[in-house]
Every structure is written in C-alpha cells, then in structure tokens.
Chain A
Amino acid sequence: MTSNTYVGSSPNRVGGYDRVTGAQQYVADIHLADELHAKLVTINESKARIISIDTTKAEQVPGVRLVMTPDDLPKPMPRFGPQYQDRPVLAADTVNYYGEPIAAVAADTKEAAEEGAAAVVVEYEVLPNVHTIDAALAPDAPLVQDPSLRVGETFANTNIKTEINFGWGDIADVEADADFVIEREYEFPMVTHFAIEPHAFIAQPDGDELNVWSTIQHPFQLQKTLARLLNIPLSKLRVFAPDPGGGFGGKQHPKLEPLVSYMALKTGRPVRLIMSLEETFQAVRRPSTRVRVRMGLTSDGMMVFKDIETNYLIGAYVDIADRVASKSSYVAAGPYKVPVVKIVGRTILSNTAPTTAFRGFGVPQITWARESTLDEAALELGIDRFEIRRRNVPEKGYEFVPGDTPADGEWIQTIDKAAELIGWDTPLPEGHGRGVALGLKSGPTTGLSYSTVRLLADGSAILFSGTSDMGQGARTVFAQIVAQEMGIPLESVNVIMGDTATVPYDQQTSASRSTVLMGTSVYRACKDVHGKVKAMAAKVHGVDESGIEVDGGVVRMAGEDLPIMDVVTAGLGPLGGEVIGNGEMRKDKVPGHPLAGSAAFFEFNCTAIEATVDDETGEIQIIKHVTVGDVGTALNPQQVHGQDDGAAIMGLGHSLMEGYILDEEGRTRNLGAIDYRIPTSKDLPIELISASIENHDGPGPYGVKGVSEGSLLCTAPAVGAAVRDATGLIIRDLPLTPQRVWEAMREQES
C-alpha cells in the first residue's frame, strides 16, 4: 500500500449504490407497525389570537385517533430552540406566523388525518402583524413576541431581538484620510432551502424509551431537546437520523419532533408526520436582509474604513437566527485589510416563518451589499475591479480581524486563478459584461466530535461517526481516511451514522466543519488503533515499542515494513476479536470572544461571471461562471467539484429567480414548486468552471479546509456586476428577475 492511496482520490461515493437503485432509505420511506399518520392544523393568518379550538367533528372522522391541541400539552406550553427557548410545541394562545401549527390530528390513514385536520374548527381574532423591517421597527409596531417571554432583554419592548456591535478603531480618526466615500444600501430577499426531501418525523414509544426518526442534521441536539422537554434520560431517547435528502442548514434544528413525540406518547402508537413541500416552506427560510455599507477609500483604491449596518428580518421565533446575524456580521468587512471598521447588526422579529441557518449562514446577504458597493466604488475611482481587490486582500498570516484567526491562505492565488479562468484581460464581445466578487466565511468556532474505529479480524473496519451525510459526502471522505490509515481497501470500510444509541456524540453537521473536525476525530481514532497495533507488534515480535512506527497502514520495525493486518492477525491470536480506536476533536469555547471562539478556518472564494442581458425580455444569460476556492487539500476532488458546482448554481438561484412573495397580511403567496422557482438543468451557465487552490495548509487531516459553502457566498454580487458591466444598470435588490431587469432598463431609457 503506497502512502497516499486515498488522499486526493475520488472513489465512488459510499452510499452511492443505494442512491442509484432506490434502496437508500430516507425518513419517509420507513414504516412502523401500527403507525398513525399526522396532519397539522393551521389558519390562513399570520397573526391571530386563538379563542377556541373545537375538535368534536374531527374526532368523529372514522380513523381519527387523536386531535392534539394545546390542552393536551403540559402547562405552561413547553418551548424550545437552539438559542432561546421561545418556540412553542403548538401555537400558544396566539398564531405568530402564517403556517404555525395550532393543533394536529393523528389517524390510521393519511386521508383520515387530512379529513380530520380540515374538520377542526378554530375560532380566532385577527391581530395586526408585521412582516417588513420598516413595519417591525415603526414606533407603534405591534410586538411579535410578548415581553413577558423576554425578561431581562434590552429590547424586550420592541421587535428588535438583538443588536450587536463589532469593529476596531474610530472612524472619526481616519475619515479625513479617505479621498472618496461611498454609501449604498442593498436588499436580499427571503429565500428557502427547498431540499428536495421535505421534512419528515416519526416518533415511537417503546416501553420507557422513545425512538424518534427525523430528517435532522443535528441528531444529538434533537436528542438533548427531546430529553429535556419529555424528561427522558439521554440513554433512553434514541434518535435515528437517516441520511437527509438535502439539508443546506434548513434541517439543523428541531422543528416538529417535539409535537410528534407528544402525540406518540399520548396515543401509545408510532406517529409519522411527513410534511408537504408547502409546509416545509412555512417552517424554514433564510433571513431577508437590508445592508447599508459606507466605505472610505484613498484615490488609489486602498480601504480606509468601513461602516456597515446589517438588519436581518427574522421570523416569529429565533431558531438560530441571532447566531446567523452575529457570525456573518463579525466578518462583514470581508477579506480585506481595513484599518478601521464599525459594524452594527440587528435581528428583527416579524410574523413570518422562522429563519434558520442556510448555506453561507448570513454571509451571502452581506456579501451582496459589500462587494456590490465596492464595485460601484471601483467604477467611480476608475480602478480595475480585480485590481482593487488584489490591493486590499490580506497576505497569509495577516490578522484582518484584529486578535482573531489570521488569513489562513495565499488568497491572492485564488483571485489570480479566477482572473485567468474568466479571461479578465481578454476582449469582451459586444453586449457582454463581466463581474467579480470575493467571499469569506468563518468556519466553525466551536466543535466536539467523537468517533470510533473498529478494525475487525478479517481486515475490514467499521467507523462510527455522528456526522450527517446529506449529500456532501461525509461517509466517503471518512472512509477514505480509515482506508488510508488502516491500509485496507475502501470497499471494506463500513460507516455507521445517524443513530444516537450506537454512534458517539457529535455536536453538529454545519459550517462546512465535518471534514476538518470530525475528519480529525476519525484520524485520531485511527491513530489510537495504530497505538494498539504498535503494542501488539512489540509483544508479537518481542521488540521494544520505541523501535516501531505505524503509519498509513504499515508497521515499520527493524527495517521491515509489515501490513497492519499481519500484525493484528498475529496479535489477536486464535480467539480473533478486533482492535478498537477512539478519536476526539474538541474546539472549546473561548471566554469573552464575541463568537465564543475563533474561526477554525476560513472559506475564501473568488467568483467571476460573464453575462449578457436580453434587451427585449430582461433575461440574464450567464455565459461563463468561474468559482475558485482555497480548499487546503481536496481530499476527494470529485466531491469538492460537486459541492462547488452545486453551491454556485444555488447561488444563481437567489441571484436570478428566488424569493418569497408575501401578501399585505404576511401570508407567503408562492409556497411550493409551481410559483417558487429554483434553477433547473435549463438555467445553467453555458460554461461553469469550479477550481481549487491547494496549498495543503488547512487545519484538518492532510491539510484540508471546509469547502461546502464557498461557491455561493459571492455569486450575487458577481452576477450583479456583470449585468452592470453589460448594461450600465445598477440594481440593488435581488433576485435579478427578467421583470426587475426589464423595468430597470425601461427606466434607464426614460
């Protein structure tokens, strides 16, 4: 076995076979004996006081076994959430967003559950709602959350959830050094994850235990949430999390699992809730955002200061939105050397669907504003748009956020590569335009991942890892690490995930962390096996451990290289058995740090776009789309391409076509696939090139960095800049739909 058999290779995806045969089981594919089907009861309002819920007719529908209302839940209403315990299991007295569940019906069949849900009679009084930033901040705005639930909060009597202040230096001290000051405001719409698998949950009582199946990304967080709400020990609360059918952040945190669990406990039967796509749209979205950027530069384009205000319109309950706002605002000034920076970030509650993590975690919204404003500045200063970025980007090791993780890559190489691939210095055909933008996102700031490797007597291995493989390919890269370190074929590695009773704890699958944090844990579990193999070799061969090395599947001793399994087979002896290794990767909280910890790594991306705009229809055609990321090491290049291409196309979605449409009462009018468009195979760039810079300088095994979000961080400003270059139009709202572009063109003409 050579030393680098699997690092940098692209074996077939682990789990790929089942994905092409239809055998892969997602939550909705699992059926339990005696199961009940659940259906949610909602009303057609975004804010209303519930007067009464009449379940009589629903209970008479044949097959209906339970009509669950708040009366069936403990008092006061149980609440939960990853940041604040503010989300009720069912609407507590008041409906706070369009689609919030008021009650739920469980029945023997789906049809009976639907009929029962339709037969529940809810009497309510419509209350004034807020669903825009301006309405929520108005002096007399109705409050989304009752101040009694926000005891001790600074802004409890307003719709501001949190205001955060970051920065360094004092703008007043340097303002005079700026030859040019620009101030612009950009808006980013409400968009949703639209994983092709809608959310699905099953709960099954089992004696004094509870089994729960969920499409969740963070099974251990769900386990903790349910154990606390239901007062069941973690040891008896078992969460099964089959590989999600796409997550993108939308499936990070518990949603309706508590409701389904209460229903299962009440009926004593398994209860399944398979949400529709429309219901999923009402459960998760990205915060819409208004960002004001004021930026001072010298005449040669050097940044003097940045003054950035971010306003995130979050939902009725916080979910993880405060964290989205703080983490993205913290690096709002971008990958630049800026002497003075002031950042104010606000989360604003509204009567809209709860906002949660979504690929990029707030960064795409800010980047749209910051990079587009920089583009406008470059234009006015007459400086090449690649050049103005090159001049300000930090060199490796520079603390661009003072006191925090320094620039961790040769970022200029990424920029140069993008310029080369888009052909920045080549002539542009008439009517075409080009744009460029930089994106930067902090990786995880804390983490805790355990793993176990069992090297079995026949030379195969089982890895236990709590990461969720939602398409990013975690199973495959972890299997590569085990195969690499054990010196065994990848095909003989089995990866067990998604069961809190058999797999050791993992904090979460998010922030492009898993290859770095869980990957390190898996690598260390392999090293733990190596240590035991070393002791075996010493015993079997009667030599001192100090003269033995184990590396990449090989035991080196006395000038001889032996495959690990030669030693293990001899060491285990006639009883057989196995060698077990444990790994742990911990990134602890840092007391006093604004984000609780420094970034483990950065995702740095440069996107360059060439586009045309149809003068008659306003339709944008992406001619060429280049995305380059600094990945450290591409452990599996094929999967890195998959992530980069996919993120780039997802970025085109929010750039060109996606956005919730709300009516005047805050109801989402385009729920589902007919009226909410995402990119199809007919919406692709004519040419899409994703490329990586590999300097093997990441913190993970073999020098890897996380990669899964980079390519959508700055798609929108690169598209916007290309449109501006082609047409002269500066549009500061997304998405750049044909209608919006066409209207801007007509306005430009007049």
Chain B
Amino acid sequence: MSELIEIEATINGRDRSLEIAPNHTLLDVLRDQLGLTGTKECCVVGECGACTVVVDGIPMNSCLMLAVEIDGRDVTSVEGLATDGHLDALQQAFLDVSAPQCGFCIPGQLMSAHALLQSNPDPTIDDVHEALGGNLCRCAGYLQITEAVLVAAKAGKE
C-alpha cells in the first residue's frame, strides 16, 4: 500500500485534516472514509453526474478528482446544504415540486444546481438544462428538477 498523504480541506464548512491514500478519488474519500454517503456512485467515468460535489464553487464529478487535489480547498456535498436541520431553498423546492422520484441522482442534481445559482442567481430554463446537462436522471424527472431550480432561484430573490 502506498503512503498516506496529509491534507487540509474545508468540507461542508468544517476544517478537516485528512490522511489520504494517493490513489483514492474524492468520491472514495467522501463515501468510504468520511461516511458522507449522500454523494452517489454510478458510472465512475464522469458521465452521469451522480457524484457531483462543489469544489471552490465549481461543480465537479468527484469520481474523476483525486482526493489529494482538495488540499486547501472548500468542498460542499449534499450534506452541506441544509443548516441546523433546515432545508435550503433548493432542497425545499425539490421537495415541493416532487423532483425526486427514486432519488439516487438527486444529490448530484442539487449540487450542480447549487453551483449554478451561486454564479447565476437568475437562470433561464436553457441555463438550467445546460448546467444540469451532465446529471442523468433515469426516472427522467427533468421537468420537475428544472422547475425546482427555477422556483428556488425565484425564492432566493424574494
């Protein structure tokens, strides 16, 4: 086994010191080392978006990122959206319009949407389709997911 590498990162608002195997992806570390299983594993080749997290404001497929690369950076996973047990506007909108069906893709969808609204608080439908174009949903709740993002954007402006 290769030697572990020490890194410092902020994960869901909390500063952490971690010892990372250099061959582990960010997805491996989140799920297996930190127990943050909200981030999902599906294709592991960066095509399905189920493992999307936000790194320094940018949505990333955590299956394609080596965990050591988060040294000194800020990572948000789906577990970091709600604060003190209160859903954030996106989560609430997803729940209200029944965007989740089986729910497996939803953490990834939420994180892509979160990154979108951080950089573009007033997106058009096309902006949403583009930003979430890398997040597959086989229940195909795309209409509801898009609606939820637009509802959350509107709520954010009020």
Contacts and interface: CB of A to CB of B under 8 A. Distances in A.
> Looking at A246, A639, A647, A681, which has the most chain B CB atoms within 10 Å of its CB?
A681
A230 interface: no
Given A196-B40, A672-B45, A15 B133 contact: no
B87 A197 contact: no
Contact of B141 (A26, A29, A198, A642): A642
Contacts of B78: 21-22
A673 B42 contact: yes
B41 A28 contact: yes
B91 A246 contact: no
A360 to B, nearest CB: 14
B100 A19 contact: yes
Contact of B50 (A18, A193, A196, A641): A196
B60 interface: no
A673 B43 contact: yes
A194 interface: yes
A82 interface: no
Interface in A1-29: 10, 12-13, 15-26, 28-29
Interface stretch (B3-11, B64-72, B143-151): B143-151
Contact of B102 (A21, A244, A277, A684): A244
A196 B138 contact: yes
Interface string B78-115: 11011000010001101111101111111100100000
Given A29-B37, A642-B139, A12 B96 contact: yes
A536 B7 CA distance: 66
A577 interface: no
Contacts of A682: 129-130, 133
B107 A22 contact: yes
B37 to A, nearest CB: 4
B42 A198 contact: yes
Contacts of A246: 101-102, 104, 138-139
Interface of A is mostly: loop
A650 interface: yes
B80 to A, nearest CB: 9
Given A21-B38, A29-B37, A277-B43, A681 B135 contact: yes
Given A19-B106, A20-B87, A277 B44 contact: yes
B47 interface: yes
A34 to B, nearest CB: 15
A600 interface: no
Interface residues of B, dominant DSSP:
loop
A472 B101 contact: yes
A298 interface: no
Contact of A195 (B87, B104, B107): B104
A694 interface: no
A674 B45 contact: yes
Contacts of B50: 196
B104 A673 contact: no
B142 A681 contact: yes
A276 B143 CA distance: 28
A583 to B, nearest CB: 26
A51 B152 CA distance: 61
B132 interface: yes
A638 B96 CA distance: 10
B77 interface: yes
A19 B38 CA distance: 9
Nearest to A194: B138
B77 A245 contact: no
A542 B101 CA distance: 49
Interface string B20-52: 000100000001000011111111110110100
B100 A681 contact: no
A121 interface: no
B94 A681 contact: no
B137 interface: yes
Contacts of A674: 43, 45, 47
B128 interface: yes
Contact of A680 (B38, B42, B79, B136): B136
A471 interface: yes
B38 A13 contact: no
B123 interface: no
A451 to B, nearest CB: 22
Contacts of A650: 138, 140
B42 A649 contact: no
A196 B110 contact: no
A517 interface: no
A23 B102 CA distance: 13
Q: Max chain B CB contacts within 10 Å: which of A244, A245, A247, A674?
A: A245
B57 interface: no
B34 to A, nearest CB: 12
A245 B98 contact: no
A158 B135 CA distance: 44
B143 A471 contact: no
B100 A20 contact: yes
A684 B132 CA distance: 13
Contacts of A672: 43, 45, 47
B134 interface: yes
Contact of B98 (A13, A25, A276): A13
Interface string A240-257: 000111111000000000
Given A10-B98, A246-B139, A26 B104 contact: yes
B43 A20 contact: no
Contact of B138 (A29, A638, A678): A678
B98 A21 contact: no
B42 A277 contact: yes
A646 B103 contact: no
A684 B91 contact: no
Most buried by B among A196, A197, A248, A650: A196
A602 B118 CA distance: 47
Nearest to A30: B37
A738 interface: no
A16 B81 CA distance: 15
A688 interface: yes
Interface string A114-138: 0000000000000000000000000
A681 B132 contact: yes
A533 to B, nearest CB: 32
A725 interface: no
Given A276-B44, A650-B138, A688-B143, A12 B98 contact: yes
A473 interface: yes
A435 to B, nearest CB: 20
Contacts of A679: 140, 142
A12 B95 contact: yes
B14 to A, nearest CB: 16
Nearest to A246: B102
A747 B96 CA distance: 50
A645 interface: yes
A646 B104 contact: no
A18 B104 CA distance: 11
A22 B138 contact: no
Given A13-B95, A673-B47, 9 more contacts: A17-B87, A21-B38, A198-B42, A247-B102, A276-B44, A673-B42, A682-B129, A684-B143, A688-B143
Closest 7 CB pairs of A and B: A22-B38, A245-B104, A471-B102, A19-B103, A471-B101, A673-B47, A649-B140
23 contacts: A12-B96, A13-B95, A19-B106, A21-B38, A25-B37, A195-B102, A196-B138, A197-B42, A198-B42, A245-B104, A246-B104, A646-B139, A649-B142, A650-B138, A673-B47, A674-B47, A680-B133, A680-B134, A680-B136, A681-B128, A684-B129, A684-B142, A684-B143
Interface of A: 10, 12-13, 15-26, 28-29, 111, 193-198, 243-248, 274, 276-277, 470-473, 638-639, 641-642, 645-650, 672-674, 678-682, 684, 688
